């Protein structure tokens, strides 16, 4: 699984990155997590509000931080 956190480095973006890493560890999911901070590349995904979460090339959430349970659900679907 390839996961990208889209964000320019704001506190919410950092929180999403930490929460995602924590959820991946809890679920024992094999995933490569990267952070994209280049605003032009973020816009290529069509994300206008950060943070954004991309799983396997698909934007699954943007503009907010999901709950722990919601994040786990996104990672397992």
Q: 27 Cβ partners below 8 Å, 6+ apart? A: 72, 75, 76
One of 1, 8, 9, 10 is an active-site residue; which one? 10
CATH code (residue 6): 3.40.30.10
Neighbours of 50 (CB within 10 A): 22
Alpha helices in the chain (DSSP H): 11-27, 39-44, 68-76
Active site residue 47: no
Active site residue 10: yes
Query: Which of the four pLDDT bands, split at 50, 70 and 90, describes residue 34?
Result: very high
What's the confidence (pLDDT) of residue 9? Answer: 86
What's the confidence (pLDDT) of residue 63? Answer: 94
Structural domain range at position 55 = 2-76
One of 13, 24, 42, 65 is an active-site residue; which one? 13
Domain count, the chain: 1
């Amino acid at each position: 699984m390839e996961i990208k956190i889209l964000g320019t480095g704001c506190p919410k973006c950092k929180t999403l990155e930490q929460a995602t890493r924590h959820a991946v560890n809890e679920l024992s999911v094999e995933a490569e997590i990267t952070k994209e901070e280049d605003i032009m590349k973020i816009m290529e995904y069509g994300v206008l509000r950060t943070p954004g979460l991309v799983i396997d090339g698909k934007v699954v959430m943007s503009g907010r931080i999901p709950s722990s349970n919601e994040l786990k659900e996104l990672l397992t679907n």
